[in-house]
Amino acid sequence: MTDTEDSAANAFGRSCGGFTSKIHAHCDNQGLPVSFIPTGGGASDCTAAEPLMAIPVATPKALLADKGYYGDRFRESLLIRGILPIIPPRSNRKVPEHPDYRRYRDRNRVERMFGKLKQQRRIATRNDKTALSFESFLNLAAARTG
């Protein structure tokens, strides 16, 4: 296994500043985390959208997400499942579909959840070398802050 394959398997992405990672979270309607998927920092948010939705939990009525998750295929798959996508369009869309911004305001609960998680130094700095240990500490931090 090369260094690139090993870093991708452990949810590290290469950037100019070094290795980075992103945390994708599935939350309930109160902003409490249900599950996490870490990816490399350079990976698109859409790559983690389907695996997050595949986690077996109760089907939501609506999905609030940021612009990174905006994609036609993902929106269509949500609508087929009976989930209303509340995702603002990216700025480069020629014909943007605007979500219900009154409902989108509730997404601040998710941002506050990330803020509470990142108060834990080990989560904020991502010193763990493996994805398994990082996910384990994400779950511990979520239990502690929830």
Beta strands in 1-146 (DSSP E): 13-15, 18-27, 33-40, 62-64, 84-86
pLDDT digits (tens, 9 = 90+) for 98-143: 778 888 888 888 889 888 988 888 888 877 778 888 888 888 888 8
Which of 17, 12, 32 has its CA nearest to residue 114? Answer: 32
- Look at residue 80 in the predicted model and tell me its pLDDT: 92
Is the CATH number 3.40.50 carried by domain 3-139?
no
Q: How many whole angstroms separate alpha carbon 40 and alpha carbon 99?
A: 28
- The contacts of residue 116 (CB under 8 Å, 6+ apart) are 145
Q: How many whole angstroms separate alpha carbon 138 and alpha carbon 92?
A: 34
- The contacts of residue 93 (CB under 8 Å, 6+ apart) are 70
The pLDDT confidence band at residue 11, using thresholds 50, 70 and 90, is: low
pLDDT digits (tens, 9 = 90+) for 61-103: 888 888 888 888 888 888 998 999 888 888 888 887 777 888 8
pLDDT of 3 strictly over 50: no
As given in the structure block, the two tokens for residue 58 are 């109760």
- Sorted by where each begins, the domain ranges of the chain are 3-139
